[in-house]
A and B are shown apart, each in its own frame.
Chain A
Amino acid sequence: MNKVVLGLILGAILGAVDGMSAWFTPAVRTQIVGIVIGSTFKGIIAGILIGVFARKVQSLALGIVFGLGVGLLLAFIVAQMQHGFYFQIMLPGGMVGLIVGYATQRYGRGPQPQRP
């Protein structure tokens, strides 16, 4: 599968799972739909960025580091907006980025070499 598409799908799935875990927090259960949509959107953005990076850079280590960085950055922005819960938001966000970074490098299909 194309690296960008793989990143997008994986980011969306993990983002949705991330958002759905809010259901276990009674205080925010009423806002679960908005949280899931926002979290999925965040996952999609992270997935696309990581997928594009994986197309350009063929390195498992760099892909993982970039994925972790993007995941942490986006999660930090969300935590800033929530004024707290940095650990609870950034750790899962970073892990999602790391997983997507690994998966796009390991399983994604790179661009086909152009014929002269």
Chain B
Amino acid sequence: MKQLSDRIVAKLQAEMQVPDLAGTRYSVVRHLARGGMGSVWLADDMVLNRRVALKVLDLVAPADDLGALLLREARILAGLEHPGIVPVHDAGTLADGRAFYCMKYVEGQTLAQHIAGKNLSEKLRLLERIAEPLDFAHARGFIHRDLKPENIMIGAFGEVLVMDWGLAKVAATGRKPTEDGISTVVPAPQDSSRVTGQGGVLGTPGYISPEQERGGSEVDHRTDIFSLGALLAFMLTGISSEEVPTATRAAPRPLRAICEKAMATDPNARYQSAREMAADTVRYLSNEPVLAYPEGWFERVGRIYARHRTAIVLIGAYLLMRVFFILFARR
């Protein structure tokens, strides 16, 4: 009997969470995901006749604080017009008092799903494309602060999108995490972002930088560089750096060096921009010297050979042919 009533209560709670879209241009299709502040719903935009995603606050949440935070997230996204950042179409308050915003519905896979079966070159190209919107946001003074595989979506046409800017911070204003309201966010149980001892959401274990974990005011865009390094480690190994800190040992040394530089404890020792880090991975792909890795003489020769293999083989074949003619086929 108790089980039955629990099930009924759970069902009622679930029904109550369905946003009341009366008076809006949207109608709910289904629930998509849960975040720190609320849920994301798939909806139909009945005016433009298209599918959209609605991020709606939870009913149980203290609406005033979180409503402002949700609007803040929507404004951050609206200010970041980039092909790699999901666009916001609309924001407002529903009939039941819950704040919401409407964004593009991205049909695709998370990073973890997408990289399964991909080769190293494809993964590194992906990292380059993740770094682009990040660098764009940093240039405009925004820090994501929660980069992780779940927050990277790859669309049906291969477009790479950095999602969930709910923990983003405006770096340009120099506000402390406790001042911008982030510290009051309480994540839902399903959300992997964690709360520190002080109660401030700082990010996700395995992807969070040491200075962000400490909750100090010195957090700047280089905290995202740390997370990008952790993402690269994840892409190389398939597991987060927290699960097995030494997992990248099997990866090529220059890539390990890139990870280590990006994830340095001292932000000054890291890459100073996402673009700089992406450029180093592209250098690795092009068989050029990686800035983070001082290579030895043999490694340099091997890399140069790999880079110019065809030309070296052609010239070698030509010289061999010349030797053959000198020895056996004189005019």
Residues of A within 8 A of B (CB): 14, 17-18, 21-22, 24-25, 27-28, 85, 87-89, 91-92, 95-96, 98-99, 102-103, 106-107
| Inter-subunit contact A25/B317 (CB<8 Å) | no
Q: B96 CB to closest chain A CB, in angstroms?
A: 54
Residues of B within 8 A of A (CB): 310-311, 314-315, 317-318, 321-322, 325-326, 329-331
Interface hub of B311, B317, B325, B331 (most chain A Cβ within 10 A): B331
| Inter-subunit contact B318/A106 (CB<8 Å) | no
| Inter-subunit contact B329/A87 (CB<8 Å) | yes
Q: A14-B318, A92-B325, A99-B318 are in contact. Are A106 and B310 (CB under 8 A)?
A: yes
| Inter-subunit contact B329/A88 (CB<8 Å) | yes
Give chain A residues whose Cβ lies under 8 Å from the Cβ of B321: 91-92, 95
CB-nearest residue of chain B to A91:
B321
List 16 extra interface pairs beyond A24-B326, A102-B311, CB under 8 A: A27-B331, A88-B325, A88-B329, A88-B331, A89-B331, A91-B321, A92-B318, A92-B322, A92-B325, A95-B314, A95-B318, A98-B314, A99-B315, A99-B318, A102-B314, A107-B311
Residue in B317, B318, B330 whose CB lies within 8 Å of A24: B330
Q: In the bound complex, how far is the Cα of B116 from the Cα of A16, in angstroms?
A: 52
| Inter-subunit contact A96/B331 (CB<8 Å) | no
Q: A84 CB to closest chain B CB, in angstroms?
A: 8
Give chain B residues whose Cβ lies under 8 Å from the Cβ of A107: 311
CB-nearest residue of chain B to A101:
B314
Residue in A17, A85, A95 whose CB lies within 8 Å of B317: A95
Give chain A residues whose Cβ lies under 8 Å from the Cβ of B317: 95
Give chain A residues whose Cβ lies under 8 Å from the Cβ of B315: 99
- List 8 A-B pairs, minimum CB-CB distance, nearest first: A24-B326, A85-B331, A95-B318, A99-B314, A25-B331, A25-B330, A88-B331, A21-B322
CB-nearest residue of chain A to B314:
A99
Give chain B residues whose Cβ lies under 8 Å from the Cβ of A102: 310-311, 314
- 11 CB contacts below 8 A, A to B, read A14-B318, A21-B325, A24-B326, A25-B331, A85-B331, A88-B329, A91-B321, A98-B314, A102-B310, A102-B311, A102-B314
Q: A102 CB to closest chain B CB, in angstroms?
A: 6
Q: In the bound complex, how far is the Cα of B329 from the Cα of A10, in angstroms?
A: 25
Q: In the bound complex, how far is the Cα of B328 from the Cα of A24, in angstroms?
A: 11
Give chain A residues whose Cβ lies under 8 Å from the Cβ of B310: 102, 106
Give chain B residues whose Cβ lies under 8 Å from the Cβ of A99: 311, 314-315, 318
